[in-house]
Amino acid sequence: GEEVAQTPKHLVRGEGQKAKLYCAPIKGHSYVFWYQQVLKNEFKFLISFQNENVFDETGMPKERFSAKCLPNSPCSLEIQATKLEDSAVYFCASSQSESRSTEAFFGQGTRLTVV
Amino acid sequence: AQSVTQPDIHITVSEGASLELRCNYSYGATPYLFWYVQSPGQGLQLLLKYFSGDTLVQGIKGFEAEFKRSQSSFNLRKPSVHWSDAAEYFCAVAAPYNTDKLIFGTGTRLQVFP
């Protein structure tokens, strides 16, 4: 597709439940990034992929967060045992060029609310 | 560590007035610099970027930004604001050797009065 497609737009989970977010990058883009926007404005880098390989995962909370980008499937970000502080908007971005995030296009985000 | 500061949390201007949004960065060398706009409920849209060369950068929607190395600033400007420009604006940087991560400022909310 011509835009980064994120599903669902909204997700509500009870504390302790699992949450799974999806991202379909722009066709032909090799790089995928996940960002978490908390407190409305603060963006935090989570993880980046080059094709199906993790490129940089230094921003990922290792205990409960995991992500995958498998061939011929949307990328996914999964949160096991969600906590209240996981409530945020999660943005996915994709990039074609070797400049990676400098040429990234962002999706519209998934708003996760943990209650 | 790299950081981005947007000193103005909220700015209000009248339609047709000029606009300048401030952005200062902290980094040992010149990073790549960006401005993004986020409309309510929407994702981020890239307005413009600076990598090197001419320090005055033109972007979409009539925006421009000027890189000033001596001030470590990358301020966004528009000569005449339209009501549709009301949104949240984010300045961001990326290290030239590690462009996987964008470091964002905390944003400036722009409100436009008719």
- In chain B, where the domains are located: 3-113
Measured in angstroms, the CA of A53 and the nearest CA of chain B are apart by 13
What is the distance in angstroms between the CA of the first residue and the CA of the last residue of chain A?
33
* Phi, psi angles (nearest 5°) of residue A100: 55, -120
Interface check for A102 against chain B (CB to CB < 8 A): the answer is: yes
User: Residue B27: its pLDDT value, please?
Assistant: 83
Residues B74-91, mean pLDDT to the nearest whole number: 96
Decide if pLDDT at A102 tops 70. no
Task: State mean pLDDT over A25-39.
Answer: 90
The answer to whether the beta carbons of residues B105 and B91 sit under 8 Å apart is yes
Domain over B3-113 is classified CATH 2.60.40.10 = yes
Q: What is the pLDDT of residue A49?
A: 92
What residues does each domain of chain A span?
Answer: 5-114
- Are the CB atoms for B78 and B64 separated by under 8 Å? yes
**Region A33-54 average pLDDT:** 88
Q: Is B84 helix (H, G, I), strand (E, B) or coil?
A: helix
**CB B90 to CB A43 under 8 A?**
yes
Identify which of B32, B51, B107 has the shortest CB distance to residue A41. Answer: B107
Picking from A9-23, A39-53, A71-85, B63-77, which range would have the lowest pLDDT averaged per residue?
A: A39-53
User: Could you read off the pLDDT of B62-80 as tens digits, one per residue?
Assistant: 999 999 999 999 999 999 9
Contact between A42 and B102 (Cβ < 8 Å): no
Examine the pLDDT at B111 and tell me if it is beyond 90. Answer: yes
Assign B31 a pLDDT band (cuts: 50, 70, 90): confident
A102 and B99 within 8 Å at the Cβ level: the answer is yes
- Percentage of residues in chain B having pLDDT higher than 70: 96
Let me know if domain A5-114 sits in CATH 2.60.40.10.
Answer: yes
Strand-pair category, B87-95 with B98-104? antiparallel
| Rounded Cα–Cα distance for residues B89 and A115 (Å) | 29
Q: Are B23 and B5 in contact (CB under 8 A)?
A: yes
